[in-house]
Structure 1
Amino acid sequence: MICANCAKQIDAGAQSCPACGGDPLLGGHYRLDRVVAEDRRGLSYRATRTKDGRLVRARILALPRGSEGDDDRPSAAFPELDHPAFPRLIEHGTVGRKDSWWTVHEHVPGQLLAARLDAEAERCSDRGWLLELIGAVAEALAYLHERDQPIVHGSVSLDTIVVRNDTPCSISLLDVARVSDATLTPATDIRALGLAILALLTGERAILPEVERLRASVGGDDQLTALLGRMLEAGGTPRITSCELREAVIRLHSSRPNPAPSSPRELELRSPPTARTSAKPAPRFMMIEPISPRPGPASLRSARVPGRSQALRRSSVRSPREDVPVMRPEELSRELSQAHHATTALEQRQRKQLNVARGLVVVIAAIITALATYIATTL
């Protein structure tokens, strides 16, 4: 495990850190198991809550010099944000002399786009999947950008977008987001998403000096290429918004044929999400977690030995792993509540439209009657 105070590697289960003498647990009850990501702001850890063994994602960030109050601390400025596309904040606090801030978010296993790019080491040929990916991320970003005070994520990249086989993708590191200003606007997130898609299309990470060369190497689907061009527009040109991007992807995706996969590998590559036409937010996505390996030849041979099949069946019935995603009652309640609100809002809009139509019919009938009466009296 890793000490939360001095970041030294220590023995698991130690009550105090041999190096600094402090409590090695983050916030008194989160054990830091290993580092999973590092950026200019701080470190992200896979952690375990000691009281129940729940897997979480912990993050420790250095506060800017002269920071005072909660408004300068990540995740404290936007406590009202609640969207299934972003991992939910569980707890936060300060470390040591309060010069560092820590947050704990729920753990959502998946695969980083960066890991997918490194594993494939080639261009992504499934343009339909790319459209689905763009639509899912655009829907999540629209939730931030369409607020009264637009919020900019500020860290959209291959290293923060995560996909899962059973849900659309998501974006981590929401704790670095801030309100839009002159230096950071929603267009910043759109361009960053464009660079990530360009990297998947070309098989190379898109750094700024190479963007034009990589764009020129992208061919094939004119619609997707044109959409990518709008996402990568230069600073002086109005860039497509997240809402416009979401709607454009829905139109493009609905017009594309969807042939059956020709191989199991192609079916696996099509696993990420679908851009939705409803206003319901896309499901979650976050850090990559290892997947249990398939049984090898030795295990398969042993399974055929008489007398072992019953033991194998008993051993296979185990309690759920901590990192297997399970929908908790509060999540189900939130999903049902969102569906109820969406249905109610739709019914209200339809009722208003019907009332307006009835009113128009009455007005038109009154006008016709008045005209007929006027014509009859004048003749």
Structure 2
Amino acid sequence: MSVLSGKKILLGVSGGIAAYKTASLVRLFIKAGADVQVVMTPASKDFVTPLTLSTLSKNPVHSTFYNEEDENAQWNNHVELGLWADLMLIAPATANTLSKMANGNCNNLLIATYLSAKCPVYFAPAMDLDMYKHPSTISSFSLLQKFGNIMIPAENGELASGLSGEGRMAEPENIIAFLEKDLESKLPLRDKKMLITAGPTYEAIDPVRFIGNHSSGKMGFDIAKSAASHGAEVILISGPTDLKVSDSNINLIRVTSAQEMYEACHEHFNSIDVAICAAAVADYKPKFVADQKIKKSDAEFTIILEKTKDILASLGKIKQKQFLIGFALETENEIENAKLKIQKKNLDLIVLNSLQDEGAGFAKSTNKITFIDKNFAIEPMPLKSKEAVANDIINKVITHYEKNS
């Protein structure tokens, strides 16, 4: 999955012949999973139509502060557009537009939006060879980069004048690759490897029946997705669930029983930086497993259970550099039981769930948690979607490494 997936991208189009390439650029952004809005200068509409870009982006295209043909029209709020975006890309960025950006010459909606943007701004120059090398253009490049903007260098090739040389706007595919590489290099967990467990375990009674629980695995899968989106390489060990992953940074290992999950965790634990054990692992399993389906005969049936291996405790015993996070699902004395678990299992952080809280627990789209760290600092959180809770958990990991960097 592209690092651009889910990103809100504001594309600024200025008036150069390379504007025709923005149709392909918008299409590639959408294919990567981004949400795109387009701001055009009036001159750019001579090279590509707003209808084309609005159709491809599935959003209205903005080019003026208001609709001059409708006296009751609302203005296009450049501040709102600038605050909406996760990143802004100006492509093509002509010499004229670059000069306006560098000097704050705000005479169109694109420049007003640029000056209001709080997000990272990228620009892809496009102009003829002599213009690209002119001292005034080089001064614009320098000033804009000093302001913190990021330049996507022009490429060599045939230019509109018939000359060949530097000044050709980077091809859409190369712009996408540049953005992905730059964004990935800035992800806070880009050099971390994480192990995450998810879902239930099924403990066999016979070839047909098993002991299990109601865990859907959603919490663990959401944590894995959040970790990968922040740059981590993820090993996701999951018990039986219908959930799937689409991110290439997530290596999904499917297991069935607590023993299989135990073995998979220990196989990878020494190579990882962070372990988050979110699976609902069975505490007990049948001591004897029948080879054939047990026939229904007697009015009563007894199963002898024995303890499964405690995965979290076993990892706590051997951890060295790993940041170890566990989960606790309690019904009474929640805080005290969670604190005991931190000590007993040598955890750095525990995520406490209470079945007493409405909206928390198995098979729900929401969760309500309390963080307790190894120093017993308690941080209760409001009811949130499991996706938001996953982000909160990953933010705890990020904060840990920021404090210890």
TM-score (norm 1): 0.20
The structure whose residues are more often helix, as a share, is 1
The structure whose residues are more often strand, as a share, is 2
TM-score (norm 2): 0.19
Per chain length, whose mean CA-contact separation is higher, i.e. which structure has more relative contact order (CA < 8 Å, sep 6+)? 1
